[in-house]
Amino acid sequence: MSIRAVKGFLVSAIPAAMLLAGPAPAADQAVLTQHVLSERTEVEAAQAAIDYCAARGRHVHVVIVDPYGDLMLLIVGDGAKYNTVESAERKAYTSAMMGTSTLKIAQAIAANPHMQLPPDSRMLFLGGGTPIRVGSEIVGAIGVGGGSPAQDQECADAGVAKVQPVLH
């Protein structure tokens, strides 16, 4: 479970006429709806990634983060080395924040070494992270650590592919 800061505003900065005008149109409501992954969906995606890797002789860690990059789930595959936990989490975080796979980001950097990157030390630009979407909305991301960047990316993509049909 994670706790988030809530964006606030100063009531005194709102003109009284606006407060008395009645409810705002739906697009301007103060409460927004956001999709979140269920625990079951997180576990299914992570387990699919682990199973995909295990079938290929790879022992990995899988991390699921929410759309803000906060850790929601960590599963350690049988035989996985502990030193890949951080890379899995950072790949998931990077994918959630950047909205694309970390392999695509790594390829873009390789093609353009002078590319401007966010100054965020939590980001890791190696393959193995994939966003999870409902339509165009990012609802989380999966990160895998334990194989090569290309292998980790395959496993992360397999995890997302497993749950994508039920996301709507």
Residue-level pLDDT at 25:
56
User: In this structure, what DSSP letter does residue 146 have?
Assistant: S
CATH number belonging to the domain at 36-166, selected among 3.20.20.80, 2.40.10.10, 3.40.50.300, 3.30.450.150: 3.30.450.150
> Which pTM does this prediction carry?
0.80
Tell me how crowded residue 93 is: count the other CB atoms within 10 A of its CB. 24
The pLDDT averaged over each successive group of 10 residues in the chain (168 residues) is 34 38 60 89 97 96 96 94 91 97 96 90 96 95 97 98 93
Residue-level pLDDT at 6:
35
Are 49 and 144 spatial neighbours (Cβ–Cβ below 8 Å)?
A: yes
Are 51 and 148 spatial neighbours (Cβ–Cβ below 8 Å)?
A: no
Residue-level pLDDT at 1:
31
Two tokens, residue 117? 């990157």
Cα four-point dihedral sign 138, 70, 143, 58: negative
11-49 pLDDT per residue, tens = 333 333 333 444 555 566 788 888 899 999 999 999 999
Residue-level pLDDT at 29:
77
